[in-house]
Structure 1
Amino acid sequence: MIRGRIHAAIAPVALIVLALAAPAAAEFKIGIVDLQRALNESTAGKKAKEQFKGEFDKMQNSLKGEKDRLDKMKDDLEKQSVVLKPDERKTKADEFDRRQRDLRRKLEDSDAELRKKDSELTGDILKDLAEVIQEIGQRENYTVILENSSSSVLYGAKSIDMTDEVIRTFDARKK
């Protein structure tokens, strides 16, 4: 937390120092990129998003079926609790508790699996986007390119936003 504050305080100071050093440099050129937007709007990103949604829907449907069966079991247990013998009620309640724990465990496993899948689907895309950004930066002589969604960029004029160019270059490379 303290390290984050230090980085947040250092980033603007570094930009000011770089800006003051600009007259000494031949040209000072800053660019910003919204990586999240580039990920969401690129062809590969859209494809990954669709694939992730398919996985999510499949898991959700599977878990919904189990949750519905568990809800029905709970309703049946509540309705029958008056007529059941104590040992039968305890057996059914124990079975309900076991299934509830199993469902909770499956939910946690599914959540972890979805996070892993999201990371797999987007990791390579983000790496490739970073390469495209570096290539554009070198080709067009940018001094620095910042990520627009980071907390150190509070404002960036549209004229220095290069997200559209990054998306176009990235999509062209992937064809």
Structure 2
Amino acid sequence: MNWLDRTAMWASIVMLSGVVGAMAGLVEAADFKMGVVDPQTVLEKTKAGRRALDTLKEYAQARQKLLAQDEEDLKSMEKQLKEQESTLSDAAKKEKQEKFRTKIGEYQKRLQEFNQELAAKQKGLVDEYMKKISSATQTVAEKSGFALVVDKGSEQTIKIVIYNKDAIDLTDQVIKEFDRVNK
């Protein structure tokens, strides 16, 4: 986790502490219900979420196959260059080396573009599904009388909640609501 992630996490915790404190001051302790939800689990366990993740995975695998083929071509080209090195004239050797460097540059550019495209697709997916997850969470919270629902976090994301009772974990209810609304 880099410093920016840690800073964002601590800012979230400080903000959350202030929100909880303010809410607790406004609402009688007996009336105040707080819940947690794990959005990553919602994404992974809902039908629409799994479809989206599978589509993203297929996209990444297809692009990875193309990059693997490019890698094989580069290895073959390098091997051929080494085998022919002693028999080639200086001009021919220079030309083949230049072609090899050009191919490496093209490969690195494709790799960088792929990583950027994948990151953009992942961000788009997360943004889209967080809106849907937030909506499903709001519906569940309002039906059950929860005044505040906190992102529980997970092992794959920033873990915000260190402990919670199972009774306040709304993840399974949010999954059901999400699936009901997002076929």
Query: Does TM, normalized by the shorter one, top 0.5?
Result: yes
CA shift digits 1:63-88 (9 cap, x unpaired)? 11111011100011111111111111
CA shift digits 1:1-35 (9 cap, x unpaired)? 5853344345335435645x487355110100000
CA RMSD of aligned residues (A): 2.2
Q: Give the letter for the 1:53 counterpart.
A: K
Q: Give the letter for the 1:66 counterpart.
A: D
Structure 1 distance, partners of 2:171, 2:120, is 26
Cα 1:55/1:166, change in 2 over 3 Å: same
Structure 2 distance, partners of 1:59, 1:84, is 35
Q: Measure how far apart 1:119 and its partner are.
A: 2.8
Query: Normalised by the size of structure 2, how large is the TM-score?
Result: 0.85
What residue is the counterpart of 1:95 in the other structure? 99
Matches within 5 A, 1:41-120: 41-120=45-124
What residue is the counterpart of 2:13 in the other structure? 8
Report how many residues are paired: 174
Cα 1:64/1:3, change in 2 over 3 Å: closer
Structure 2 distance, partners of 1:26, 1:168, is 27
Q: Measure how far apart 1:118 and its partner are.
A: 2.3
What residue is the counterpart of 1:133 in the other structure? 137
Cα 1:11/1:139, change in 2 over 3 Å: same
**Would you identify which runs of 4 or more consecutive aligned residues in structure 1 move more than 6 Å?**
none
Q: Percent identity?
A: 24
Structure 1 distance, partners of 2:57, 2:18, is 41
Q: Measure how far apart 1:133 and its partner are.
A: 0.8
Instruction: Give SS of 2:150's match.
Output: strand
Structure 1 distance, partners of 2:46, 2:126, is 11
Q: Give the letter for the 1:64 counterpart.
A: A
Q: Give the letter for the 1:142 counterpart.
A: F
Question: For structure 2, which runs of at least 5 residues remain unmatched after alignment?
Answer: none
Structure 2 distance, partners of 1:130, 1:81, is 62
CA shift digits 1:130-149 (9 cap, x unpaired)? 11111222222211100000
What residue is the counterpart of 1:153 in the other structure? 161
Question: For structure 1, which runs of at least 5 residues remain unmatched after alignment?
Answer: none
Structure 2 distance, partners of 1:52, 1:152, is 27
Q: Give the letter for the 2:179 counterpart.
A: D
